[in-house]
Structure 1
Amino acid sequence: MISIRKVLALGVLAAALALPAAARELSPKAQVAAMKRGVNVLGYDPLWQDPAKARFQLDRHFQILKAGGFDTVRVNLQAFAHMDADSRLDPAWLATLDKVVEQALAAKLTVILDEHDFNVCEADPVACKPRLTAFWAQVAERYKAAPDQVVFELLNEPSRKLDDVWNAWIPDLLATIRATNPTRNVIVGPGQWNSLHRLADLKLPKADRHLIVTFHYYDPFPFTHQGASWADPVPPVGTSWGTPDEHARIDKDFDAVAAWAKAERRPVLLGEFGAYDKGPMDSRVAYTQAVARSAEAHGFAWAYWQFESDFNVYDVDADQWIAPIHDALIPAK
């Protein structure tokens, strides 16, 4: 397999030959337009502990995703477990990440590197910040020559104890990245688990125009998380969705996001949405389709949660799409 260093070097060389230097950076608006339709991948795959046990086969499944109509993968990285006492990332873990990036780029997918240790960070922000800073220092340096199709996301769903400090952290984390990636597009979202209702509280450096704002959407929660064991309390199974008012609620919520984005001149990624697989399939399909189409109508890129597991769009064991969910996300032309 060609090394990530060679892939990145070839990509940079091709870009240099094709475009003048001033034109080689991708605007966040153009990045969102290219992202289009995405899916979250690899967050809980055994790949990260032992590549030989991976369920997600990099050389196959990225190609399957591209052929299935997707443009982007949001790679959910739980990197803190792969750091030593000095916050240095395990070389073996980094080698696996290189292969993920290589294969996703080879499939012509945009790759979002999403640091997903939100549970660790919300529990202990004081311990989190130096590790999060160290993560971005190492990853930003490693991928500084990567093509524009590699995008960074500061932290998934800051919440709870992070809500009061997140705005203060953003410029510090961005400074770490900008030291090596001055014009790479970076994704950042508000507190309260990237809630659209906290967009008004999000404070971004006004001079940094290479930012994409993200939010996550799981409303109404009693429907999208029915039967989810980690919810407290667990919403009862059997809740349906699809009334005219419920459809209208999505459009109203996304109208508010679009108005904020226009006022702030920030393009938008809907980074997660979906409905747990214990809900009625017809309602899950209707909801998935409604959210995806409304996001597109509002000019947002989107990334469905998730490739496999419990909100899944693909059955890895059967090696096939879960057709009703896939077709709701990617309608036939």
Structure 2
Amino acid sequence: MKKFEGFQKGVDLGGWLSQGSYDREHLDTFITKADIEKIAGWGCDHVRLPIDYNIFETDEGELKNDGFEYLDKALEWCKEYNLNVLIDVHKVYGYSFYSGDGQEGFFDNEDLQERFYKWWERLSKRYGKLSDRVAFELLNEVNDKELSPKWNKIAQKAIEVIRKDSPDVKIVLGSYWNNSIDALADLDKPYDDNIIYNFHCYDPFMFTHQGAYWVDEMPQDFRIGYPGNIEDYRESAKATGLTRIQDYIDVPDSGFDPTYFEKRFANGVSVCKERDVAMYCGEYGVIDRADPKEILKWYKEINAAFKKFGIGRAAWNYKEKDFGLSDERMAGVIDELINYL
């Protein structure tokens, strides 16, 4: 299977230009040059940098320079420390993976889609010439399966727009169910040789999202271990109403073992091999409610599968956002854990 060269080991910078405060004080201090130096010291080759339209545009679509100033600065820092950058459009006007953002209408409104294409035209003109160290991710996490045909059509048009100015920049593309690996087969076949298929992995969800306040069915005091007892996962899913999460269904009665992620990735790998496309995991990680030693074990096992298949990846998240690897709670394991990013 192809490799996404230069994007094999990275971390996400969530909470800075996306999913955080848009106040200048926050934007000036949340991520600094020292953070980029630290990430490079972890042996990473790239960062995934989520961005929201709010920092770059008004709701009326007028450009703001603030966002570009921060993005340009990030690219300068990363160049200095030999880190590549995946620019990930996390939220556009009319759509966000998080329904609480109040963004809607994108998939059924041609005007909003044209604004999306214009946004990518601007990004492509500005950063497409940096294709030796910059890649583009079209849109973070399409949610519903029913949106798949619309998303394929929109993605195709956006890629065509980008290709006018950036013929060889790598373009990262995910499918529905929040970039589920199980949805990769429903993506259209790659537009060209510079398309990368993207998925996110938070399996098993009961472990990685234990106590998550934003998951409606999840009790905030719920805790479970990893690898844990598979019966506990099955019973907990029923008790909480989280039976829609199916990542534990095919696990044998003996429970999770080091081959779990290899098996979990197998179908996605087959799709990518068949279509001769590289594979990338743009997000994976464990919530800060879990035991750090169990988080370390989880990272070891998922990393083994990434390396076996040559899958590039970026861990969620470098700092805070309920998953922060650099947070104080991880101090006892981080020196070892960075070997398994």
Q: Assess same fold via TM > 0.5.
A: yes
Contact 1:87–1:134 under 8 Å retained in 2: no
Report which stretch shifted further, 249-258 or 191-200: 249-258
Q: Which structure's residues are more often helix, by fraction? A: 1
CA distance in 2, matches of 1:33, 1:197: 23
Partner residue of 2:9 out of 37, 50, 67:
37
Q: How far is the alpha carbon of 1:271 from its aligned partner?
A: 0.7
| 1:188 lines up with 2:173 in the alignment | yes
Counterpart of 2:333 (choices 324, 328, 331) is 324
Q: Does 1:274 pair with 2:285?
A: yes
CA shift at 1:301, angstroms? 0.8
Query: Counterparts of 1:186-225 in structure 2 under 5 Å?
Result: 186-206=171-191, 208-225=192-209
In the alignment, structure 1 residue 111 sits paired with structure 2 residue 85 = yes
Asked if 1 retains the 8 angstrom alpha-carbon contact of 2:299 and 2:340, the reply is no
The residue that corresponds to 1:49 in the other structure is 23
1:219-258, CA deviations, whole angstroms, 9 ceiling, x for partnerless residues? 1111111111100111552201115632333110112221
Structure 2 vs 1, CA of residues 29 and 233 (structure 1 numbering), >3 Å: closer, same or farther? same
Structure-to-structure mapping, 1:1-333, within 5 angstroms: 29=2, 32-44=4-16, 49-50=23-24, 54-80=28-54, 82-117=56-91, 120-121=94-95, 123-125=104-106, 126=109, 128-160=112-144, 162-206=147-191, 208-235=192-219, 236-242=221-227, 245-247=255-257, 248-309=259-320, 310-315=322-327, 322-325=331-334, 327-330=336-339
Please list the CA deviations of residues 251-276 of structure 1 after superposition, one character each: whole Å capped at 9, or x if unmatched. 10112221111111001111111110
Partners of 1:157 and 1:74 lie apart in 2 by 14
Measure how far apart 1:48 and its partner are: 5.2
RMSD across aligned C-alpha pairs, in angstroms? 2.6
Matched residues in 1 for 2:9 and 2:26: separation? 29
1:109-128 deviation line (CA, Å, top 9, x unaligned)? 01000000179515322264
Q: How far did 1:57 drift?
A: 4.0
Number of corresponding residues: 300
**Counterparts of 2:315 and 2:94, CA distance in 1:** 23
CA-to-partner distance for each residue in 1:111-148, whole Å, 9 max, x for gaps?
Answer: 00000017951532226423322221111111132241
User: TM-score, normalised on structure 1?
Assistant: 0.82
Q: Which residue of 1 aligns with 2:231?
A: none
Letter of the 2:255 partner, please give it: D
Larger CA deviation: 150-159 vs 85-94: 85-94
One-letter identity of the residue aligned with 1:219: D
Shift of 1:203: 0.8
Separation in 2, partners of 1:119, 1:283: 38
Q: Distance in 2 between matches of 1:36 and 1:287?
A: 18
TM-score normalized by structure 2? Answer: 0.80
CA distance in 2, matches of 1:238, 1:119: 36
Separation in 1, partners of 2:340, 2:57 = 41
Cα 1:118–1:164, aligned 2, differ >3 Å: closer, same or farther?
A: farther
SS at match of 2:280: strand
CA change 1:331–1:268 in 2 (3 A) is closer
